[in-house]
């Protein structure tokens, strides 16, 4: 707290906001997923990090405070039995599963005419099928969550506009938006809230590196944002914290746009 004003990187909610909650975070070993995990832990949650790279997951879990608060569960979200197994390990270790964050994603720039069917399938498999696998495997545990279950999936507003050069990712993310809205209604009676977050370009992430920086488009993309700058991982984690918290108890089926006004600028100019 500086001059009575909350600094951008201070916790925005009471330190025990997520106490007793167990979160399963895909792609939790790096980038946005790791930042979300870190903020969840600061607010009292225990986290399960899932992705393909066991070594990175172990290092991340250790940095987050070790096995009392964070464990690594290697799994490829494309593989349902692996996902199911990771979810069961998580519940066995921490006793419940309350929050699922579908953050794992694959993406690369490739004009559609040059995209191989396997390239298309790979991204749809990671993003859309992976999200379905995690939701499906987590459902029976989320509905037993004592405070209500929570699903948060990371998508992008490019899912709605289309995404020249990334048709696979845009289509997959649009599928996740639709799936989330369906599940919000189907699983509402089970007290499971289902929401999405649409980040804009976020500095220091694999996505911005691959899609913008490596293609020398970073300055152009910054100008396309109403606020004129890339977001931070913390900006997205704050949105995830809000959606996971009791402060969003009546929020479901929502897509929370955290893009610095990029979408609005796109449709108004």
- Cα 5 from Cα 244, distance rounded (Å): 24
CB of 217 vs ligand HXC, minimal distance in Å? 10
Span interacting with ligand HXC, options 14-22, 61-69, 108-116, 240-248, rule CB under 6 A = 108-116
Pick 98 or 235: Cβ nearer ligand HXC: 235
State the Cα angle at 22 between 143 and 192, rounded to 5°. Answer: 25
User: Judged by CB under 6 A, which of 145, 153, 156, 238 binds ligand HXC?
Assistant: 156
- 133 backbone φψ class: left, alpha, beta (φ>0; ψ -120 to 50): alpha
Span interacting with ligand HXC, options 56-64, 67-75, 119-127, 178-186, rule CB under 6 A = 119-127
Provide CB contacts within 8 A for 85, sequence distance 6+: 75
Pick 80 or 108: Cβ nearer ligand HXC: 108
Span interacting with ligand HXC, options 10-18, 54-62, 110-118, 182-190, rule CB under 6 A = 110-118
Pick 45 or 128: Cβ nearer ligand HXC: 128
Pick 43 or 239: Cβ nearer ligand HXC: 239
Establish if 110 lies at the interface with ligand HXC (CB under 6 A).
yes
Instruction: Restricting to residues 181-210, name those near ligand HXC by CB under 6 A.
Output: 201, 206-208, 210
Query: Quick one: tokens of 53?
Result: 């790279």
Provide CB contacts within 8 A for 133, sequence distance 6+: 77, 78, 79, 80, 83, 84
Establish if 219 lies at the interface with ligand HXC (CB under 6 A).
no
Residue of 195, 83, 59 lying closest to 134 (CA atoms): 83
């Amino acid at each position: 707290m500086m001059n009575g004003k909350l600094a951008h990187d201070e916790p925005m909610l009471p330190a025990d906001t997520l106490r007793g909650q167990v979160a399963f975070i895909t792609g939790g070993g790096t980038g946005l997923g790791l930042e979300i995990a870190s903020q969840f832990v600061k607010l009292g949650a225990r986290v399960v990090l899932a992705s393909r790279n066991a070594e990175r997951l172990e290092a991340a879990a250790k940095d987050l405070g070790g096995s009392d608060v964070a464990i690594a569960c290697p799994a490829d979200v494309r593989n349902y039995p692996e996902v199911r197994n990771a979810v069961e390990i998580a519940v066995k270790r921490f006793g419940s599963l309350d929050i699922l964050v579908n953050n794992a994603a694959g993406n690369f720039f490739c004009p559609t005419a040059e995209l191989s069917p396997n390239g298309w399938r790979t991204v749809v498999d990671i993003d859309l099928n992976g999200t379905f696998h995690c939701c499906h495997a987590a459902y029976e545990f989320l509905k037993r969550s004592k405070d209500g279950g929570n699903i948060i999936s990371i998508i992008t507003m490019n899912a709605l506009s289309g995404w020249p050069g990334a048709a696979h990712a845009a289509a997959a993310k649009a599928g996740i938006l639709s799936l989330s809205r369906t599940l919000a209604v189907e699983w509402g009676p089970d007290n499971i809230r289902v929401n999405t977050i649409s980040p804009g370009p976020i500095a220091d992430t694999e996505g911005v590196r691959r899609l913008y920086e490596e293609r020398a488009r970073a300055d152009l993309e910054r100008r396309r944002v109403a606020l004129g700058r890339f977001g931070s991982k913390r900006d997205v984690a704050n949105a995830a914290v809000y959606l996971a918290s009791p402060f969003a108890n009546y929020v479901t089926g929502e897509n929370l746009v955290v893009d610095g006004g990029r979408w609005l600028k796109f449709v108004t100019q």
